[in-house]
């Protein structure tokens, strides 16, 4: 038998291999959106990643800077390009009836890149000055092309991040339909000290979940648990490795913080590992 040996892979090379793989999008969130209270499905944030320019997310008011978008992943991602469809592009009339963001900032892990787009229909691609590496990216609007009605909200039709020249694939459309119970779970929840959490629990679009906990004296080697989840007629179920599906009752409570903004907590009860039974919050 012929056995070939290869030199050991360096850490930098290994990191490059990991970051060059095209990841799956984990979730998309928005701090708020237009008509959320009355018709939440119409401009919900998952429409930003459905590959359809005729659907859009719109800010909750004419102040586009008041709302932010978050795109998250289960692993580290290197983003070097952003593809944007600005405005509400259901048709040309709707495009001009909404404000069209023309300047954005993309942030992650203490770094940021600012870029601008033209006031035109279709998808525009912008290469970042330098790649941004992280697992959670926040996209904010800095400036807009005003609508014919100054009270009209600013809209964005599509957002697609590109990693190493490869566009991150759109999730299956069946996973992007509006569901209030799914929407309140999607994203990352935190536990531990305020501003410095040592635990997190993420629910992803593809039906997977990921729990991370900082290990004492080994902060670079967190303890992780992964599994699957979904909602059916009986409610939420979660599955951890080596176990069957467990019925889970998610208790979500939202209260206003001192600045008047809603802040939610999540506690899972039922068939989940003990580590997941702590009270999580929706902010670090």
Q: Are residues 154 and 97 in the same domain?
A: yes
Which of 122, 144, 175 is the endpoint of a domain? Answer: 175
Which of 121, 154, 175 is the endpoint of a domain? Answer: 175
Does the pLDDT of residue 20 top 70, yes or no? Answer: no
Q: Are residues 35 and 133 in the same domain?
A: yes
Which of 142, 158, 175 is the endpoint of a domain? Answer: 175
In a domain, 252, yes or no: yes
* Nearest to 30, CA basis, from 46, 13, 6: 46
In a domain, 171, yes or no: yes
In a domain, 11, yes or no: no
Identify the domain containing residue 153 by its residue range. 23-175
Q: Are residues 52 and 166 in the same domain?
A: yes
In a domain, 211, yes or no: yes
Which pLDDT belongs to residue 218? 75
Q: Are residues 169 and 184 in the same domain?
A: no
The CB-side HSE value for 28 (13 A sphere, CA atoms) comes to 25
Does the pLDDT of residue 4 top 60, yes or no? Answer: no
Does the pLDDT of residue 68 top 90, yes or no? Answer: yes
Q: How far apart are CA 183 and CA 27, in angstroms?
A: 10
Q: Are residues 217 and 272 in the same domain?
A: yes
In a domain, 3, yes or no: no
Residues 6+ apart with CB under 8 A from 21: none
* CATH code, domain carrying 77: 2.60.120.260
Domain count, the chain: 2
Q: Are residues 158 and 209 in the same domain?
A: no
Q: How far, in Å, are 12, 178, 253, 276 from residue 238 at the CA level?
A: 36, 20, 20, 11
pLDDT tens across 156-209, in order?
999 999 999 999 999 999 999 999 999 999 999 999 998 889 999 999 999 999
Q: Are residues 189 and 170 in the same domain?
A: no
In a domain, 18, yes or no: no
Q: What integer is the mean pLDDT of 61-71?
A: 93
The CB-side HSE value for 116 (13 A sphere, CA atoms) comes to 5
Q: Are residues 33 and 145 in the same domain?
A: yes
In a domain, 4, yes or no: no
């Amino acid at each position: 038998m012929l056995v070939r040996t290869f030199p050991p892979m360096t850490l930098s090379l290994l990191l490059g291999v990991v970051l060059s793989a095209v990841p799956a999008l984990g979730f998309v969130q928005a701090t708020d959106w237009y008509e959320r209270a009355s018709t939440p499905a119409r401009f919900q944030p998952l429409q930003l990643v459905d590959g359809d320019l005729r659907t859009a997310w719109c800010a909750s008011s004419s102040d586009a800077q008041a709302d932010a978008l978050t795109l998250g992943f289960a692993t580290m991602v290197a983003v070097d390009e952003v593809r944007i469809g600005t405005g509400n592009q259901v048709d040309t009339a709707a495009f001009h009836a909404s404000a069209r963001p023309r300047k954005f900032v993309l942030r992650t892990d203490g770094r940021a890149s600012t870029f601008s787009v033209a006031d035109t229909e279709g998808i525009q691609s912008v290469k970042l000055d330098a790649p941004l590496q992280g697992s959670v990216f926040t996209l904010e609007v800095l400036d807009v092309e005003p609508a014919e009605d100054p009270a009209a909200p600013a809209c964005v039709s599509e957002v697609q991040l590109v990693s190493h020249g490869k566009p991150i694939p759109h999730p299956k459309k069946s996973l992007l339909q509006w569901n209030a119970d799914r929407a309140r779970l999607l994203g990352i929840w935190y536990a531990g000290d305020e501003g410095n959490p040592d635990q997190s629990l993420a629910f992803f679009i593809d039906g997977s979940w990921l729990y991370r906990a900082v290990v004492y004296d080994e902060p670079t080697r967190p303890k992780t648990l992964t599994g699957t989840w979904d909602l059916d007629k009986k409610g939420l179920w979660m599955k951890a490795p080596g176990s069957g599906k467990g019925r889970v009752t998610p208790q979500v409570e939202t209260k206003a913080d001192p600045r008047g903004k809603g802040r939610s907590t999540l506690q899972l009860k039922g068939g989940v590992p003990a580590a997941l039974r702590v009270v999580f919050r929706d902010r670090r």
